[in-house]
Amino acid sequence: MKADPESPWLLAGRNRTVAISGSRITADVDASTEVDVRALDLYPGFIDQHCHGGGGGTFSTTDASEVAAAIHFHRGCGTTSIMASLVSAPTSELISQIETLMPFVDSQELIGIHLEGPWISPRFAGAHDPDSLRGPTTEELRALLHSAQGAIRMVTVAPELPGALDAIAQLVAADVTVAIGHTACNPEQARAAVDRGASVVTHAFNAMPGVHHRDPGPLPWLLAQDTVFIELIADGLHVHPDVLRLTTKAIGERRGIAVTDAMAAAGCCDGEYRLGDQRVQVKDGAARLFDESTLAGSTLTMDAAVRFLSSRCELPLSEAVTFATRNPAAALSLRDRGSLDAGMRADVVGFDSQGYVQLVVHGGTVLTSSA
Ligand SMILES: [Zn+2]
């Protein structure tokens, strides 16, 4: 399938036609070139705001080829916008990793950097190295933000840590999206974080207290807040499908965000991998620390997450797609992504009738097509 990238062209799908000019979607539908993909339904490209790697590459690295491998792998699965998530590490290591990632942010290959640590709870460290966890200080925060020159777009914080609420306010003032996660906080501490501008829950249910009817933990309060976006790892392993279904019904269409939390093994064979400094064993696609119980990210891809939400959690496909497109765009204030309206980046995926992605258009360039 070919389209001249210089002149406007039409991508004609089953559910809609998208007009593309250069790297943008245009309102001008008067193009002479039409690419017929009427076997496919067209939706915006996916936005994955929580991803550690894939295709054998990790973002916690100083090797740019690993970063490129991860971006390339996920893009082929329909993720046209990807955030690089970093696990906890000493400040100097984080700065080296940030410096490796920054050229990819500058060239818009990445939408930004997500610091998932180190300001998280040792009780809910998950696969983060417990020796790297600490409370936030103004100096460290300033050093990291300064080194990244605007590339840090999201930070996960445990609100109960000393200094965390001040750090949240400082991050929000610097236009960084603050997520609550890897936390032992109670509802009052969650509320204090939201009052200071926290607006996302990092992989809800994972690495935080569970929900008990007399001891609810932070989640029921957070799920009920209209201003808070809820990340969900929709692989059926991190959260039971019944809980995903209940959660999606509770939060409605506009606040759920599908994330992969994928690590290097996504798209690769079972075996031994690393997540930051931690050794990870992947068996039957499930990534765990060598304690054989702690989940260590996933091998999920966004197309599979969307398919899982629609097939196993009974969300209509179009709604599952909003969890992977419009909602993360809103959470991260990405103004030109997440929809197929005129003026948006020409990032498009095409689904076949089984819910499999058969077409990926990235910035107006057709990458994958079996249509
Ligand atoms: Zn993660």
**Protein residues near ligand 1, an ion, with CB under 5 A:** 116, 261
Determine the Cα–Cα distance for residues 276 and 173; give it in Å rounded to an integer: 29
Determine the Cα–Cα distance for residues 189 and 369; give it in Å rounded to an integer: 48
CATH of the domain at 205: 3.20.20.140
Number of residues written out for the chain: 371
358 and 316 share a domain?
no
Handedness of CA 288, 289, 290, 291 (dihedral sign): negative
pLDDT digits 0-9 by tens, 86-116: 999 999 999 999 999 999 999 999 999 999 9
- Give this prediction's pTM: 0.96
Report helix, strand or coil for 272: strand
Residue whose pair of structure tokens reads 């057709």 in the numeric block: 366
29 and 63 share a domain?
no
pLDDT value of residue 370: 61
Counting DSSP H helices and E strands in the chain, the numbers are 10, 21
How many whole angstroms from 228 Cα to the centroid of ligand 1? 18
Among the listed residues 142, 138, 144, the one whose alpha carbon sits nearest the alpha carbon of residue 116: 144
- Please state, in angstroms and as integers, the Cα–Cα distance from residue 364 to each residue in 14, 273, 291, 349, following that order: 19, 34, 45, 11
204 and 290 share a domain?
yes
How many whole angstroms from 12 Cα to the centroid of ligand 1? 37
233 and 370 share a domain?
no
> Cα torsion for 12, 15, 20, 26, to the nearest 10°?
130
pLDDT value of residue 292: 76
How many whole angstroms from 365 Cα to the centroid of ligand 1? 30
pLDDT digits 0-9 by tens, 270-302: 999 989 888 999 999 899 999 878 998 999 999
pLDDT value of residue 244: 97
The residues annotated as belonging to the active site are 261
364 and 297 share a domain?
no
Q: Is the model's pLDDT at 1 over the cut of 70?
A: no
287 and 139 share a domain?
yes
Q: For the chain, how many structural domains are there in total?
A: 2
35 and 138 share a domain?
no
Mean pLDDT over 183-193 rounds to: 98
Among the listed residues 260, 167, 235, 133, the one whose alpha carbon sits nearest the alpha carbon of residue 179: 167
> Cα torsion for 53, 56, 61, 65, to the nearest 10°?
-110
Which is more confident, 135 or 292?
135
135 and 232 share a domain?
yes
- Give start and end residues of each alpha helix (H) in the chain: 64-76, 91-106, 138-148, 164-173, 187-195, 219-223, 241-251, 302-311, 317-324, 326-331
144 and 12 share a domain?
no
How many whole angstroms from 262 Cα to the centroid of ligand 1? 7
How many whole angstroms from 40 Cα to the centroid of ligand 1? 32
CATH of the domain at 356: 2.30.40.10
pLDDT value of residue 277: 86
Determine the Cα–Cα distance for residues 81 and 150; give it in Å rounded to an integer: 17
Q: Which residues contact 350 (CB under 8 A, 6 or more apart)?
A: 13, 37, 40, 41, 42, 43, 357, 358, 359, 360, 369, 371
How many whole angstroms from 181 Cα to the centroid of ligand 1? 10
**What is the pLDDT confidence band of residue 7, given thresholds at 50, 70 and 90?**
confident
Determine the Cα–Cα distance for residues 178 and 85; give it in Å rounded to an integer: 13
pLDDT digits 0-9 by tens, 215-273: 999 999 999 999 999 999 999 999 999 999 999 999 999 999 999 999 998 999 899 99
Q: Is the model's pLDDT at 79 over the cut of 90?
A: yes
15 and 159 share a domain?
no
Containing structural domain, residue 7: 1-44+338-371
265 burial via Cβ count (<10 Å: 0-12, 13-18, 19+): buried
Determine the Cα–Cα distance for residues 338 and 330; give it in Å rounded to an integer: 8
152 and 237 share a domain?
yes
Mean pLDDT over 170-182 rounds to: 98
**What is the pLDDT confidence band of residue 2, given thresholds at 50, 70 and 90?**
low
pLDDT value of residue 30: 83
* Ramachandran quadrant class, 314 (left: phi over 0; alpha: psi -120 to 50; beta: rest): left
163 and 34 share a domain?
no
